[in-house]
Structure 1
Amino acid sequence: MLTAVTTADDPADATIAVPVRVRDLVPRDLPACAWAGSATHLRHVEGELARAAAGEVDYLAVCTPADLPVAIGGIDYTVSEGAGTLWQLAVLPALQSRGLGTLLIRAAEGRIRGRGLRRADIAVEESNPRARGLYERLGYVAYGREPDGWDEEGPDGVLRRHETMCVLMKKGL
């Protein structure tokens, strides 16, 4: 149910609550996920959905009542023995800091526990203190650092290498 609550005398100042649900991301969702990254990134996500069909990963979507993804992220079960590794977490920029990332991560942790695993791992770029703060609030603890990099298509269509340093974090489930 969609609810509008006026929080002040001005009706333009309203809070609207919209229910969301978490489900598996599917290929037909990808056109609606352009906010999550470049065309190169979405092609990579498409490849990960093939791995999901094989059971190697889960890829989740937090969706509105119109079934549009507003947060997405994956769990890879092949990276670390005994753990699910969260990666490629993204929330529609206009809806960040509204609890969707927390909902996505908790759903991912539930999937990890459902496979009988008792640890979740995640890497966060050192240049992303907001995300690291969220992970810490959810109980993740830093235990190391590691470089990472990937090719990303720029607005001009040219591939460029993105190099970064990540903080490695983990949480017992």
Structure 2
Amino acid sequence: LLAGGSVAAAPPERPKLHRRNPGGVVFPVVGRRRPDPHAPPDRFATGIRTKEAIAAANPRAPEPWTGRGVPRGRDNDAEKARLQRHMELHGKETLPPPRRLSEMARDGQELEPTPPRRKTRVQEMEEMFSAIVGEIEEREEFLAEMRELGRADRYEREIAAEVAERVNQLKGLDEALRSASGLS
């Protein structure tokens, strides 16, 4: 009642500023506002958009795949091999046809060196034979220089043993070469 005897209107209902949890504890409501019912809806807050809205928002998006797996009759391994070949050739259909060496020489292109042929066992033994002969000659030249300088006494036994060892190796190689080449 008011001073004039009139009845006062009920006060407007206030929003709840406190909330009770199951334990009966009262705590303030913080961090959330009531949405304005008159505000335009936020385009991402609505949760569900139409297909047209999605397409309008991103015009460069790829079209969704509508297939149902691999069609019958298609070989997946063959398709993978085809795609691999396509990627190897950088999108070209095939490699250029091979050219003859004469055409490449005519165009002035560098020719790739051919790999050296593999040596036969006889050729390898002949190379070893000539290398051992070269080692023997080096030792004899060294010994001749030391004789001129008067120091041959110090090296003579050692070099004679090395030369004898190399001569034995040469004899073994000579026998192997004769048997390999068919000469006996």
Bucket of the pairwise TM-score, normalised by the shorter protein: under 0.3
Q: Which protein is bigger by CA-based radius of gyration?
A: 2
Flag the structure with more relative contact order, 1 or 2, with Cα contacts below 8 A and sequence separation at least 6. Answer: 1
**TM-score normalised according to structure 2 size:** 0.19
Larger fraction in strand: 1
